[in-house]
């Protein structure tokens, strides 16, 4: 048998790109093996360079809610392409995008478009500090907010840890104002917010964390963040880069009925192109340059191709879309629960709408400390068994998988069949 093209490409890529990839988790480091190099996608599927077809549950890590290569998005992009790709001057499309976002997400009264989720969070925290005149921020262990220096901090399990950088190249000075707390720790976080008091500029949280695998908020946790930040005059930032337009048009904040001061968006609002956005209360966003003193700029920000793809993507979403994604998710969940019980496997299928994670963990996962108790070796075996059966899951235990509107009941059932076979090989 000849060597797969993906294997050859990966060997060459490793000599040209650090780790052979442009973003770490693509490299399969936590599941082992060779990443597949993708040649094209259509609907719920994509194909690798060797012609193997996979049912895709990554969806480019969230953006592709309509599946791969939806005709209506591509037609709109093609039409815009003929008019130019970037002008460095304002366009009607940016006004339309701002209006669409503001109409969908009531807490956002003004918005700034940027080029990635990372950039969105950087901008949001800068304006939070500029607006409050305070320095400290709280984030939660296991929550990911992009790769900005000040956010690459994570608590050790248990104790709250002060500003220890997570990455080489990040100095203690860059993280000294970042305090890590534990997601779902209501009393610990309340005490921390009170202790920081008027030093605290912002609490940043993924309201529904999906970057430690999918974890749900305990009753009262997000409400406590809202109350306590309001008390101390700190801002509450919901990082909805992943959850924005994924669970409801108004994001997870609509689902839980909590109004943050600032919100970050990305992924779906770019329709598969590089985009991020931050927005919130008018008085806060009025601090952003050129309206105010908080500087932030971007050569390609509000890019007309990305705006076009994002606009048609979000305009095509309605209550029916979310009902359909919920129905597909529920079918998948029911099937998985059945399989786990039939095979007597101690694992947790955690899901919200179209987002899900199968944790190889005997107990429900409510925090990063819990998530870390998962059997990542078993996950790796499961991942490869699924891949062999043509189902492409996120190649890491601590990631959420996504259903898209291109998935059907048949594809869910095929996934369940593959999962049953795969899990049988583990027992």
Instruction: Print the binding letters for residues 209-228 with ligand PLP: x by CB under 6 A, - otherwise.
Output: --x-----------------
Minimum Å gap between C-beta 266 and ligand PLP is: 5
**Residue from 241, 268, 311, 325 binding ligand PLP (CB under 6 A):** 241
Minimum Å gap between C-beta 299 and ligand PLP is: 17
> Which range binds ligand PLP by CB under 6 A, 48-56, 141-149, 171-179, 287-295?
141-149
> Which range binds ligand PLP by CB under 6 A, 30-38, 110-118, 333-341, 413-421?
110-118
Residue 202, CB-side half-sphere exposure with 13 Å CA sphere: 29
Does the footprint of ligand PLP cover residue 239 (CB under 6 A)? yes
Task: Pick the catalytic residue from 54, 144, 322, 392.
Answer: 144
How many residues are listed for the chain in this entry?
Answer: 427
Does the footprint of ligand PLP cover residue 235 (CB under 6 A)? no
Q: Annotated catalytic, 216?
A: no
Window 16 to 45, contacts with ligand PLP (CB under 6 A)? none
Q: How far apart are CA 415 and CA 385, in angstroms?
A: 12
Minimum Å gap between C-beta 146 and ligand PLP is: 4
Say which residue the tokens 């009925």 belong to: 257
Minimum Å gap between C-beta 281 and ligand PLP is: 20
> Which range binds ligand PLP by CB under 6 A, 6-14, 173-181, 238-246, 291-299?
238-246
Considering beta carbons, is residue 118 or 263 the nearer one to ligand PLP? 118
Burial of 7 (0-12, 13-18, 19+ CB in 10 A): middle
Question: From residue 357, how far is each of 103, 209, 224, 399, 405 by CA, in Å?
Answer: 31, 11, 26, 7, 18
Give the 3-state secondary structure of residue 396: coil
Residue nearest to ligand PLP (CB): 117
CA end-to-end distance (rounded Å), the chain: 30
Q: Are 54 and 391 in contact (CB under 8 A)?
A: yes
Question: Percent helix, strand and coil across the chain, each rounded to 5?
Answer: 40, 15, 40
Q: Annotated catalytic, 267?
A: yes
Considering beta carbons, is residue 300 or 343 the nearer one to ligand PLP? 300
Lookup: tokens for 169: 């190249």
**Residue from 105, 242, 284, 406 binding ligand PLP (CB under 6 A):** 242
Minimum Å gap between C-beta 239 and ligand PLP is: 4
Phi, psi of 32 (to 5 degrees): 75, 170
Considering beta carbons, is residue 66 or 145 the nearer one to ligand PLP? 145
Lookup: tokens for 358: 């199968």
Q: How far apart are CA 308 and CA 116, in angstroms?
A: 16
Does the footprint of ligand PLP cover residue 206 (CB under 6 A)? yes
The alpha carbon of residue 423 and the mean position of all alpha carbons in its chain are separated, in whole angstroms, by 27
Considering beta carbons, is residue 43 or 244 the nearer one to ligand PLP? 244
Does the footprint of ligand PLP cover residue 276 (CB under 6 A)? yes
Question: From residue 75, how far is each of 67, 70, 106, 312, 395 by CA, in Å?
Answer: 15, 9, 30, 10, 31
Q: How far apart are CA 166 and CA 359, in angstroms?
A: 24
**Residue from 266, 272, 310, 353 binding ligand PLP (CB under 6 A):** 266
Minimum Å gap between C-beta 117 and ligand PLP is: 2
Task: Pick the catalytic residue from 48, 267, 370, 392.
Answer: 267
Does the footprint of ligand PLP cover residue 116 (CB under 6 A)? yes
Q: How far apart are CA 365 and CA 351, in angstroms?
A: 11
Strand-by-strand arrangement of the 200-205 sheet: 110-114, 276-280, 262-266, 235-239, 200-205, 136-140, 178-181, 161-162
Q: Are 193 and 138 in contact (CB under 8 A)?
A: yes
Does the footprint of ligand PLP cover residue 60 (CB under 6 A)? no
Minimum Å gap between C-beta 47 and ligand PLP is: 24
Does the footprint of ligand PLP cover residue 145 (CB under 6 A)? yes
Minimum Å gap between C-beta 82 and ligand PLP is: 27
Q: Annotated catalytic, 239?
A: yes
Question: From residue 412, how far is each of 70, 333, 408 by CA, in Å?
Answer: 20, 10, 6
Considering beta carbons, is residue 126 or 145 the nearer one to ligand PLP? 145
Angle between helices 92-104 and 304-315 (to 10 degrees): 40
Considering beta carbons, is residue 146 or 279 the nearer one to ligand PLP? 146
Does the footprint of ligand PLP cover residue 144 (CB under 6 A)? yes
Could you say which DSSP state residue 188 is in? H
Binding site for ligand PLP (CB under 6 A): 116-118, 121, 144-146, 206, 211, 239, 241-242, 266, 276
Which residues are identified as catalytic?
Answer: 144, 239, 267
């Amino acid at each position: 048998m000849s060597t797969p093209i993906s294997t050859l490409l990966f060997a060459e890529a490793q000599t040209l790109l650090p780790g052979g990839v442009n973003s770490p988790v693509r490299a399969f480091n936590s599941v082992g093996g060779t990443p597949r190099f993708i040649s094209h996608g259509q609907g719920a599927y994509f194909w690798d360079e060797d012609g193997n077809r996979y049912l895709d549950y990554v969806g480019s890590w969230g953006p592709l809610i309509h599946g791969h290569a939806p005709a209506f998005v591509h037609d709109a992009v093609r039409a815009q392409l003929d008019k130019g790709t970037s002008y460095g001057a304002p366009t009607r499309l940016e006004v339309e995008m701002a209006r669409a976002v503001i109409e969908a997400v009531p807490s956002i009264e003004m918005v700034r478009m940027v080029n990635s989720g990372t950039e969105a969070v950087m901008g949001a925290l800068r304006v939070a500090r500029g607006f409050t005149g305070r320095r400290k921020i709280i984030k939660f262990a296991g929550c990911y907010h992009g790769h900005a220096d000040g956010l690459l901090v994570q608590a050790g399990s248990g104790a709250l840890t002060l500003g220890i950088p997570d990455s080489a190249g990040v100095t203690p000075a860059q993280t000294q104002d970042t305090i890590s707390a534990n997601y779902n720790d209501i009393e610990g976080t309340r005490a921390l917010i009170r202790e920081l008091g008027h030093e605290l500029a912002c609490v940043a949280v993924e309201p529904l964390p999906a970057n430690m695998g999918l974890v749900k908020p305990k009753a009262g946790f997000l409400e406590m963040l809202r109350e306590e930040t309001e008390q101390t005059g700190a801002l509450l930032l919901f990082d909805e880069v992943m959850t924005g337009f994924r669970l409801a048009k108004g994001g997870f904040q609509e689902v839980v009925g909590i109004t943050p001061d600032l919100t970050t968006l990305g992924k779906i609002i770019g329709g598969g192109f590089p985009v991020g956005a931050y927005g919130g209360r008018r008085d806060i966003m009025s601090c952003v340059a050129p309206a105010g003193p908080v500087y932030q700029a971007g050569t390609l920000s509000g890019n007309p191709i990305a705006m076009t793809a994002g606009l048609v993507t979000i305009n095509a979403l309605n209550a029916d879309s979310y009902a359909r994604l919920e129905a597909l998710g529920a079918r998948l969940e029911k099937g998985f629960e059945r399989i786990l019980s039939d095979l007597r496997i101690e694992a947790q299928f955690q899901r919200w709408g179209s987002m899900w994670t199968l944790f190889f963990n005997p107990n429900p996962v409510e925090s990063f400390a819990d998530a870390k108790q998962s059997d990542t070796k078993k996950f790796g075996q499961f991942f490869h068994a699924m891949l062999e059966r043509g189902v492409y899951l996120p190649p890491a235990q601590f990631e959420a998988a996504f259903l898209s509107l291109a998935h059907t009941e048949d594809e869910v059932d095929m996934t369940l069949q593959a999962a049953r076979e795969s899990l049988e090989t583990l027992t």
